[in-house]
Amino acid sequence: MSLSTQPYKGVRDFYPEDMRVQNYIYGVWARVCEQYGYEQYSASVLEYAEIYEAKSGQEIVDNEMYTLVDKGDRRVALRPEMTPTVSRMVAGRRQELAYPVRWYSIPNLLRYERPQRGRLREHWQLNVDIFGVSDTAADHEIISVSDTIMQAFGAKRSMYEIQVNSRRFINFVLLEYLGLDSVEAHTISKLIDKMKKMDRSEFTASIEAAINPTLREAGIPAKLLTLLDGNGIESLPDDLRNSEPFHEITTLMGLLGASGITNARFDICLMRGFDYYTGIVFEVSDLDPENNRAMFGGGRYDGLVGMFGVEPVPTVGFGQGDVTMRLFLETHGLLPAQKPETELYVALIGDLYLKVQPLLAELRIEGLNCAVDMGNRKLDKQMKTAEKKGVHYVLFVGEDELASQQYKLRNLKTGEEKVLSSARLVSTIKDIRGK
């Protein structure tokens, strides 16, 4: 039987050219996070299955989680998200950490799903969280980080939009303002979440069906629909706009405006999938009609750390997946060409593998990444290899060059050749690096 060369369903192989793109994305993520003072952490892909059962969306736990039983009968999961892990880690050291704790990580996450465009079974997801701050400033900083990341990737404000809402506000609207009970409110919030995908009559009917007859006759469904159809803060009734739960939205929008984030807007229909959000939620969407989708998002989840039996720690965070980010960059032509790490390919004229070693060592100590050809091959083959690898420079080394210590350097892009000493060679390539 011959083995398949395909990777497991829904996961990717990263060949060197793919890895360059991944590293570019990870690099932008890490740089922006560190600019804001976030520190990197990591953890194992294996977790006790229980920690997801308390708080992740039930759908994920029931149908999409990779679980196994180990030899000690422990129920183990391959993590489907990072938030429970980081909450566990913070809970474990809650007394010794210096708050506010600002942490980021780029873990791989696994979910047993049907693979589709922008959605695989394994992806790498930037997770950025700030712990210990109840103030809206933390919500503002988290959204600023995600916006700065978009800017760092070269996105224009016309390419994406940031929707903002608040779970606390939505609960106030559904429970206090409309008078629903908590079961109805939960059903309604799930319906609102998929409103844009349903057709209008189906949505209206579902809303009516989810509300008890007394309230239905009191005109509550119509009141709700009017709210949902409203556009932005201005269309909200005064008693909602002036309500206490809405204050944090007003404050947050003010902070975002002051930061020059002009493409943020309040959206009463934004819900987010996870049940653990307790306050502000936000989502970043691609505005390109070719790729019109929610790319990533996050929000406040003040209750999660407390699930580990300790005092609660207020938290805001977001997660951004590599697959959707890459789709965004490709859709908008923002992915820069990636250069290979190897800068110099050393072609040997004659059986000089041993004799060239001192030169290679010198070049490497000086900081050049150089690969040497092997097997005493014909020169045209050696050059073809360099060209195919995308290496920009070839250095020709034969007996004469080793004797004179003057080497011929060829720029494969331009065809230009120079005869240089090793020191000049190093400075020549270093000069061009930045360009």
Chain residues binding RNA by CB under 7 A are 6, 9-10, 57, 59-60, 63-64, 81, 109, 111, 113-121, 123, 125, 190, 193-194, 197, 272-274, 294-297, 319-321, 323-324, 349, 378-381, 383-384, 387-388, 396, 398-401, 408, 410, 412-415, 417
Task: Return the closest-CA partner of residue 207 out of 167, 244, 174, 176.
Answer: 174
* Cβ at position 419, least distance to RNA in Å: 9
Calculated CA dihedral for residues 360, 364, 365, 367, nearest 10 degrees: 150
CA distance 123 to 322: 6
* Cβ at position 218, least distance to RNA in Å: 28
* Cβ at position 281, least distance to RNA in Å: 10
* Cβ at position 237, least distance to RNA in Å: 28
221 exposure class (CB count in 10 Å sphere: 0-12, 13-18, 19+) = buried
* Cβ at position 324, least distance to RNA in Å: 4
- For residue 163, give both structure tokens: 């929707």
Our CB check for RNA shows the closer of 67 and 226 to be 67
Task: Return the closest-CA partner of residue 233 out of 242, 221, 222, 224.
Answer: 242
CA distance 354 to 351: 8
* Cβ at position 120, least distance to RNA in Å: 5
Our CB check for RNA shows the closer of 197 and 200 to be 197
Our CB check for RNA shows the closer of 240 and 316 to be 316
Our CB check for RNA shows the closer of 250 and 406 to be 406
Our CB check for RNA shows the closer of 338 and 411 to be 411
CB–CB of 168/137 below 8 Å?
A: no
Sign (positive or negative) of CA dihedral 364, 369, 374, 380 = negative
Our CB check for RNA shows the closer of 164 and 240 to be 164
Our CB check for RNA shows the closer of 119 and 241 to be 119
* Cβ at position 241, least distance to RNA in Å: 28
Alpha-helix runs per DSSP H in 244-365: 244-258, 322-331, 357-365
Alpha-helix runs per DSSP H in 99-210: 136-152, 167-171, 182-193, 200-210
Our CB check for RNA shows the closer of 233 and 412 to be 412
CB–CB of 354/169 below 8 Å?
A: no
Our CB check for RNA shows the closer of 59 and 176 to be 59
* Cβ at position 289, least distance to RNA in Å: 12
Task: Return the closest-CA partner of residue 396 out of 31, 320, 380, 388.
Answer: 380
* Cβ at position 46, least distance to RNA in Å: 18
Our CB check for RNA shows the closer of 250 and 331 to be 331
Which amino acid would we find at residue 246?
F
Our CB check for RNA shows the closer of 1 and 354 to be 1
CA distance 410 to 392: 8
CA distance 112 to 68: 13
* Cβ at position 388, least distance to RNA in Å: 6
* Cβ at position 219, least distance to RNA in Å: 27
Sign (positive or negative) of CA dihedral 230, 231, 235, 237 = positive
- For residue 65, give both structure tokens: 């989680």
CA distances from 298 to 96, 295, 395 (A): 26, 11, 51
Our CB check for RNA shows the closer of 255 and 322 to be 322
Please count the helices (runs of H) and the strands (runs of E) in the chain.
17, 17
* Cβ at position 236, least distance to RNA in Å: 25
27 exposure class (CB count in 10 Å sphere: 0-12, 13-18, 19+) = exposed
Instruction: For residue 99, give the 3-state DSSP assignment.
Output: coil
